[in-house]
Chains A and B, each alone.
Chain A
């Protein structure tokens, strides 16, 4: 083989040519397009997108592509190597001049390109959402790129496991479990972890004696009669200790990576913004000493001043640290590790063989 890349690309093309010749593949793509179409139509009505802009539609379609992509990708990638071994074509490739690394990486690229076809099929719908307006260019670029990378991560885990485990059925199932662990497992770990580690909140409440105000009245300019302060405690979950779990969630990675876009009131324009704000909110420790002093808020006119210093989502977003690169880093490490393990286990001349397996 004259060059590493040339051999790699050869493996990719052989693999892709086989995939694209099966009818099932086109059926799957067709079903996918219909689903995205249905989701888009529903979203346009649900978010009133014709007036409010396409931010909500765009971000939801991206998530939908990520959802379907991670659901389909394990089935398309996790039999790449052990499936070839079963059909007897792996060994005949390994006796040629392409190396095991080229074979494994080629299989991964082919699986990734296959998954990217789903993203490509969703492009018309994403373009439609962009055409509705109010989607910043940075959001379009970043969300699409990070989604593409996440699909590559799932493909790498699938191909890697197909090189490590002997039976295709088993490696597909394990890949689904890994995807589920990242997508749902992180949420469960976050929820349960936060609930398990609880802190006590001490709330002190000092309120105006409204009964006395009714009975005696308060002359203008005077202090309101106050009741003695009451103190009570209640437990609160500490999500600030476990928010790191969420960082490893692929949906959070995409949402957090997309630059925040907020409206005049400081509310997010898209699903990305809401999720990112939620995750970043979780970084902050809850206040453990709460004091609510109604008397202090007493105004001479006899009413209570409204408490308007609550934080807007945009403020929360801006004062917290982004976490997406940590999550993306973890995913890339997982992907690289899976591929490296597969190369190591598929290398020839083979040292060890799985029980009951033939290498030819």
Chain B
């Protein structure tokens, strides 16, 4: 049973087609990144997954239940972290979490225990008994994550979870998300910080203009030419070696080294062998952009070509 199963999903607001055709599956134990430009329909898609919005067409199954026909079953198993920061401003962090747990039907004692656990987990211990209105954006974001986890859900929907977080909090978010997936949960994370997703997600859902990219489009985009960054202890020799191998005109040299467009991984291996053989002291040889970003940029470019 897939954690999230979306097929042929569409939703329009008046004459604005926010989501036109979304189809994808995320299996338990996996973290999927939901990637798309601003206005691609990411939040609309997540709202339909969160049982808040009724689709015009298509089906949404979360944790094995239909989000439209059985929203209650879905809600009991799904945690949603919205992109809009909202909290009961006069309640304390602890009270807000206890209230949320109670809304999920947990008895008072269990709710208090769960709240204490989550406060530790998202590191809000010092602020636990302060009203939520004094929290900073990043702290509210952590509270929002804790609230999404309050009923120990099987499926997690995180809408821009990393925005507003400092680097330390980002790192612990990453670790937490991987750990939750390791426990067999299904996680869908939307973000436009692709580097962030790169380290968290093990699969990606590309959404552009309300349409999810098909698997073979993604595979094709992954194979297209991409930039590789080469660094050397001796930039002059690197340049000479690139010139000698015929890459001099295509590559761009800057003070960090060189950026070389290469068509495939085979080309990359060949170039690296050549550089090393020529005695260039190579200190770094890696794709200039992450896999997700590469595919994303390529798909967006193709999308514009088609349009």
Interface residues of A (CB under 8 A from B): 1-2, 7, 10, 14, 17-18, 21-22, 87-89, 91-98, 348-351, 353, 355, 358-360
Stretch of B24-32, B97-105, B235-243 at the chain-chain interface: B97-105
Known: A92-B86, A95-B52, A95-B80. A10 touches B68 (CB 8 A): no
- Residue contact B103 to A348, C-beta cutoff 8 Å: no
Known: A88-B85, A360-B82, A360-B83. A349 touches B103 (CB 8 A): no
Are A92 and B82 within 8 A (Cβ)?
Answer: yes
Residues of B with C-beta under 8 A to A349: 48, 51-55, 67-68, 71
Q: CA separation between A330 and B51, bound complex, in Å?
A: 36
Interface residues of B in 81-121 (CB under 8 A from A): 82-91, 95, 99-100, 102-105
Docked-complex contact A95 and B51, CB < 8 angstroms: yes
Given A14-B88, A18-B88, A92-B82: A97 and B72 within 8 A (CB)? yes
Counting CB contacts under 8 A, is B167 at the interface? no
Tell me whether B82 and A97 are in contact (CB under 8 A): no
* Sample (15) of A-B pairs whose CB atoms are under 8 Å apart: A2-B105, A10-B103, A14-B99, A18-B90, A21-B90, A87-B89, A92-B86, A94-B52, A95-B78, A97-B72, A97-B103, A348-B52, A349-B54, A360-B43, A360-B83
Q: For A95, give its contact among B50, B91, B95, B131 (CB under 8 Å).
A: B50
A22–B86 Cα distance when bound, in Å, is 18
Is B127 an interface residue, CB under 8 A from the partner? no
Q: Is B75 at the interface (CB under 8 A from chain A)?
A: yes
Q: Is the CB of A96 within 8 A of B53?
A: no
B84 with A353: CB separation less than 8 A: no
Shortest CB-to-CB span from A52 to chain B, Å, is 47
Q: Is the CB of B90 within 8 A of A22?
A: yes
Interface residues on B, range: 35 or more
Whether B103 lies near A98 (C-beta < 8 A) is yes
Q: Are A348 and B71 neighbours in the complex by a CB distance under 8 Å?
A: yes
Q: Which residue of B lies closest to A359 (CB)?
A: B52
Whole-angstrom CA separation of A94 from B87 in the bound complex: 14
B47 surroundings in chain A (CB, below 8 A): 359-360
Most A Cβ at <10 Å: residue of B14, B48, B50, B72: B50
Instruction: Give the shortest distance, in Å, between A330 (CB) and chain B (any CB).
Output: 35
Contacts of A18 in B (CB 8 A): 88-91
Please indicate the chain A residues that have their CB under 8 angstroms from the CB of B85 in the complex: 88
B226 at the interface (CB under 8 A from A): no
| A87 to B87 Cα, complex, angstroms | 7
- A34 to B84: give the CA distance in the assembly, Å: 42
Determine if B147 is an interface residue (Cβ-Cβ < 8 Å). Answer: yes
For residue B268, which residues in chain A have a CB less than 8 angstroms away from its CB?
Answer: none
B90 and A97 contact, CB distance less than 8 A: no
Nearest residue (CB) in B for A99 is B72
- Cβ contacts under 8 Å, B50 to chain A: 91, 95
Residues of A within 8 A of B48 (CB): 349
Q: Which residues on the B side are within 8 Å of A348 (C-beta)? A: 51-53, 71
Complex: A23 Cα to B55 Cα, angstroms? 43
Chain A residues within an 8 Å CB radius of B91: 14, 17-18
Query: With A and B bound together, what is the CA distance between A357 and B52 in angstroms?
Result: 14
Query: A-facing mask of B108-145, CB < 8 A → 1, else 0?
Result: 00000000000000000000000100000000000000
Task: State the 6 A-B residue pairs at the shortest beta-carbon distance, nearest first.
Answer: A88-B86, A96-B103, A349-B54, A21-B90, A88-B84, A89-B86
A1 CB contacts on chain B under 8 angstroms = 103, 105
Contact present for B84 and A95 (CB under 8 Å): no
For A10, what are the chain B residues with a Cβ–Cβ distance below 8 Å?
99, 102-103
Cα–Cα distance between A323 and B51 once the two chains are bound (Å): 47
Q: Please, how many angstroms separate the alpha-carbon atoms of A10 and B89 in the complex?
A: 17
Separation of A48 and B89 alpha carbons in the complex (Å): 50
Further pairs besides A92-B82, A95-B51: 20, Cβ < 8 Å = A7-B105, A17-B91, A17-B95, A18-B91, A21-B90, A88-B82, A91-B50, A91-B84, A93-B103, A95-B52, A95-B80, A97-B76, A348-B53, A349-B48, A349-B53, A350-B53, A350-B54, A359-B47, A359-B52, A359-B53
Report the nearest B residue to A102, measured CB to CB. Answer: B103
Q: How far is the CB of A159 from chain B (nearest CB, A)?
A: 17
Q: Which chain A residues border B99 with CB–CB below 8 Å?
A: 10, 14
Chain A min CB distance to B10 (Å): 14
Bound complex: CA of A2 vs CA of B108, how far in Å? 13
Q: Which of B43, B52, B83, B147 contacts A350 (CB 8 A)?
A: B52
Alpha-carbon distance A91/B95, docked complex (angstroms): 18
Of the residues A89, A94, A355, contact of B14 by C-beta under 8 Å: A355
Contact B105 A360 (CB under 8 A): no
Question: Which A residues touch B105, using CB under 8 A?
Answer: 1-2, 7, 97
Contact B88 A91 (CB under 8 A): no
Chain B residue nearest to A14 (CB atoms) is B99
Whether B76 and A358, one on each chain, are in contact in the complex, defined by CB atoms closer than 8 angstroms, is no
Most buried by B among A1, A17, A88: A88
Chain B residues near A359 (CB, 8 Å)?
47, 52-53
Query: Which residues of B have CB within 8 Å of A91?
Result: 50, 52, 82, 84, 86
B84 touches A358 (CB 8 A): yes
B75 engages A95 (CB within 8 Å)? yes
Judge whether B100 and A96 touch: CB under 8 Å. yes
A166 to chain B, nearest CB (A): 14
